[in-house]
Structures are given as C-alpha cells and as structure tokens.
C-alpha cells in the first residue's frame, strides 16, 4: 500500500534535492530525527517509486548539443497514450509527456544541430503510427533549469 508523502518525507526530499550525496546522518541531524528513520523513509519512497535518486547531467556544460522540444499532434485523441508509450521506448528521448493544450504530446531530446533534429524527427517521431504532425523548437539560452521540479507547490 502506497503512503502519501507526509511533512517529514517532503523535508527529506527537500534535503536531498540540492545534492543527493548528502548523508542520512546530516539529514537526520537537520530534521531532528534518527538516521534510521531517514534511511527507512528513503527506502520506502524508492520502493514505492515516489523518489528516485540519480545523477543528472548539467545541460549548461554541453557545447555541442542543445535541448530540442518536439510538440506532437496525434491523428485521433484515443491514440495519444499508445503513441506516447511508443515514444517513451525511444532511448534518445529524455522526456515524453501527454499534454493539455495545442499539442497532445511533448518529447524532449538533445540534438547536435538542426539537421540532426530533422533527421531524428523523421526517423523516430513522424514514422510512429498515429502521429499527425510535429513542431520542434530548440532551447537557445537557459536562465534557469531546476531539476527539483518535483517539489510540491504550496
């Protein structure tokens, strides 16, 4: 049974967000709980897929690649989930989400240049059954890229 994140769980996640290498002991001391409590809660959140601790690349350091946002419209709305699942299996896509608004799906990847983007879209996106049309844009200048987006907005 999955528990909802309580105040302590959220505080632990907030402590891990800037640097997931922080020790359980440090987190416990800052929150006034035992190290075992922190360890057990992190383990539970990982097991319930509420938390995943992973290394993240810093896109600001890539000199030969940029983020490409690919907005996808499907032919029929009942195809959206199937198209999204197919796209999620494409290893080069770092994000695939079903969206509200003008486009049905947003996919994000890294590309070297516009030619690379055009080739990628032709080979991996437009060829998927159910895709009606795509529109792409390239990230040019990132003023803020916070990987801690999963924080709950209060």
Long-range contacts of 125-129 (CB under 8 A, 24+ apart): 125/70, 125/72, 125/87, 128/83, 128/86, 128/87, 129/83, 129/86
- Tell me if the pTM is above 0.75: no
Report the pLDDT averaged over residues 4-16.
Answer: 93
Under 8 Å CB-to-CB from 127, ≥6 apart: which residues? none
What are the boundaries of each domain within the chain? 7-47, 59-138
pLDDT classification of 75: cutoffs 50, 70, 90: very high
**CATH 3.40.640.10: does it fit domain 59-138?**
no
The DSSP element (H or E) to which 30 belongs, if any, is helix 24-31
Q: Which CATH architecture has domain 7-47?
A: Orthogonal Bundle (1.10)
The DSSP element (H or E) to which 8 belongs, if any, is helix 7-16
Least confident of 19-28, 56-65, 95-104, 125-134: 56-65
Q: What is the pLDDT of residue 2?
A: 75
pLDDT digits (tens, 9 = 90+) for 80-123: 999 999 999 999 999 999 999 999 999 999 998 999 999 999 99
108 beta partners: 69, 95
């Amino acid at each position: 049974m999955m528990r909802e994140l309580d105040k302590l769980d959220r505080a632990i996640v907030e402590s891990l967000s800037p640097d997931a290498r922080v020790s359980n002991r440090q987190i416990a001391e800052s929150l006034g709980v035992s190290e075992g409590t922190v360890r057990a809660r992190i383990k539970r959140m990982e097991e319930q897929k509420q938390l995943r601790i992973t290394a993240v690349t810093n896109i600001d350091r890539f000199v030969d690649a940029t983020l490409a946002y690919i907005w996808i419209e499907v032919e029929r709305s009942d195809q959206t989930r199937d198209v999204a699942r197919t796209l999620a299996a494409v290893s080069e896509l770092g994000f695939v989400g079903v969206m509200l608004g003008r486009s049905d799906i947003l996919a994000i990847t890294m590309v070297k240049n516009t030619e690379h983007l055009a080739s990628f879209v032709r080979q991996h996106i437009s060829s998927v059954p159910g895709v009606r049309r795509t529109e792409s844009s390239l990230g040019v200048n990132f003023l803020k890229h916070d990987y801690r987006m999963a924080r709950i907005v209060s």
